[in-house]
Structure 1
Amino acid sequence: MKNIKDELQNIILRDGPIGSSSKLKQVQNFLRRNACSGKRSEKQEYFKSEEEKCLIDFAVEHALFYLDEIDESMFISEGAEQRVYKFDDFNVIKLNSSIFYEYWLDYFNNLLIHNFFFSSTKYDFLGFKIIDGQLYAIVKQQFILANETTNLQLVRSFLEYNSFRNTRNNDYVNSDLCLIFEDLHDENVLTKDGILYFIDTVFYLSKNFSSSE
């Protein structure tokens, strides 16, 4: 388990195997190292607003805006935090406003953690887009066509086998890895041919994540 935590720390706190050339890692590095003022305000809403202003400036400077138009005829579904569109026969794109996260850095950490654990449904960060004054991160992901109803007890057994302890409802924690894993209902975990596919994950780092223990 320690080796896994070391790998995750290398990805989140350093460059890991992804490398700083990745657009996803490029943004996460900026948010982690700069965080605008270097401190998080006591008022979360204020800090996220300032963080977003800095992020927009960074995206402009490094050409990280997604320039293609969003084709509304390709719209598939919408949740509280994102809109999903068909991209091609094999992939979808997701527009996420990071509303479920206190900070944009937390959202990008989640993308990196997801890609570490679930490479079959990895997120490919395409860039940012501002729509009606709202900043969105746009990611591409393989389209999974479920052909079975997801058994949440099976999800729980799978996660508990991998040391994620259920805390309530569809939320889990892994104390060894210092990870919180939430919102694993049957729309976020799909089943195809008996295989579980985690397509929308909500990972958070717990406060001891950066420790060496």
Structure 2
Amino acid sequence: MKSIKNELQNIIFGNGSVGTTSQLKKVQSFLRTNEKTSLGSKKQKHLKREEAIYLIEFAHSENLFYTQEISECKFISAGAEQRVYYYDDFHVIKINEAVFYEYWLDYFDSLLIHNYFFPATAYEFLGFKAIDGNLCSIVKQEFIVSTEITDLNKVREFLSYNGFINNRNNDYVNNNLGVILEDLHDENVLSNAKILYFIDTIFYLTKDFYSGYLLF
């Protein structure tokens, strides 16, 4: 049986994907391959704005631009990283410039890891959109109604049970997996009928994540 770390490594480094994750994985695979073949080590990676240039070219070639109008009358909220809009009665869309990530690849890695851990609130990548001269990602997600205030102690207990240690404020680290999970305040984790729903997560991979990975 594969370990969780092996499964996550195969999600990040593998090439296969089906269903609603396929478009998301297509972009992540392109970015990963481009990094490996053209940019070399992490220290040699292009600046994010340069990374966006070839990402835009790829999006055009693969028809990955989101062309539907996003009406401001459907606006719900905005944070430092994204704007949220109603999509239909059951979903929202989120416009994200990946400002919390040094590179677009890190952002797409984070989405894939979120979908693995929290399938109830999985992200579906709808495409890119240029807004005010900035490249943005458009994702769709289940609309979760909060029925009570989130108990952050319950969040800490849940994550601790799953190997994530609270290292500061609302940030966590899983040293066995080589994964960091940040910014889990009560607006990013909602509670409905005492069930926790992680709707906005920020995952980062550490150097320990890459250890022991075998291509097979």
Offset, 1:13: 0.9
For residues 45-64 of structure 1, the aligned pairs below 5 Å read 47-64=47-64
CA gap of 1:29–1:43, structure 2 versus 1, over 3 A, is: closer
- What CA distance in whole angstroms lies between the structure 2 residues aligned with 1:43 and 1:155? 37
CA gap of 1:129–1:76, structure 2 versus 1, over 3 A, is: same
User: 1:66 aligns to what?
Assistant: 66
In the alignment, is the contact (CA less than 8 A) between 2:113 and 2:203 conserved in 1? yes
User: 1:22 aligns to what?
Assistant: 22
Task: Decide which structure has greater helix share.
Answer: 2
User: 2:181 aligned with 1:181, yes or no?
Assistant: yes
User: 1:95 aligns to what?
Assistant: 95
User: 2:157 aligned with 1:157, yes or no?
Assistant: yes
1:76-119 per-position Cα deviation (integer Å, ceiling 9, x unaligned): 00011100000000000000000000000000000000000100
In the alignment, is the contact (CA less than 8 A) between 1:11 and 1:18 conserved in 2? no
- What CA distance in whole angstroms lies between the structure 2 residues aligned with 1:157 and 1:187? 18
- What CA distance in whole angstroms lies between the structure 2 residues aligned with 1:69 and 1:23? 20
Flag structure 1 segments of 5+ consecutive residues without an equivalent. Answer: none
CA gap of 1:118–1:196, structure 2 versus 1, over 3 A, is: same
Q: Work out the percentage of aligned pairs sharing the same amino acid.
A: 60
User: 2:38 aligns to what?
Assistant: 37
- What CA distance in whole angstroms lies between the structure 2 residues aligned with 1:41 and 1:118? 28
The alignment's C-alpha RMSD in Å is 1.9
Flag structure 2 segments of 5+ consecutive residues without an equivalent. Answer: none
- What CA distance in whole angstroms lies between the structure 1 residues aligned with 2:131 and 2:43? 28
In the alignment, is the contact (CA less than 8 A) between 1:125 and 1:138 conserved in 2? yes
CA gap of 1:11–1:61, structure 2 versus 1, over 3 A, is: same
Offset, 1:145: 0.6
- What CA distance in whole angstroms lies between the structure 2 residues aligned with 1:104 and 1:39? 16
- What CA distance in whole angstroms lies between the structure 2 residues aligned with 1:5 and 1:198? 20
Q: Structure 1 segments of 4 or more deviating over 6 A? A: none
- What CA distance in whole angstroms lies between the structure 2 residues aligned with 1:182 and 1:170? 6
State the AA in 1 paired with 2:181: F
User: 1:170 aligns to what?
Assistant: 170
**Count of residues paired in the alignment:** 211
Q: TM-score, normalised by structure 1?
A: 0.94
SS in 1 for 2:209: coil
- What CA distance in whole angstroms lies between the structure 1 residues aligned with 2:107 and 2:47? 15
- What CA distance in whole angstroms lies between the structure 2 residues aligned with 1:210 and 1:114? 18
User: 1:140 aligns to what?
Assistant: 140
User: 1:107 aligns to what?
Assistant: 107
- What CA distance in whole angstroms lies between the structure 2 residues aligned with 1:175 and 1:133? 38
State the AA in 2 paired with 1:39: G
Higher mean alpha-carbon deviation, 8-17 vs 182-191, is at 8-17
1:179-212 per-position Cα deviation (integer Å, ceiling 9, x unaligned): 0000000000000000000000000001121211
In the alignment, is the contact (CA less than 8 A) between 1:10 and 1:16 conserved in 2? no
In the alignment, is the contact (CA less than 8 A) between 1:190 and 1:199 conserved in 2? yes
Offset, 1:37: 3.2
For residues 185-204 of structure 1, the aligned pairs below 5 Å read 185-204=185-204
Q: TM-score, normalised by structure 2?
A: 0.92
- What CA distance in whole angstroms lies between the structure 2 residues aligned with 1:202 and 1:52? 20
- What CA distance in whole angstroms lies between the structure 2 residues aligned with 1:6 and 1:116? 12
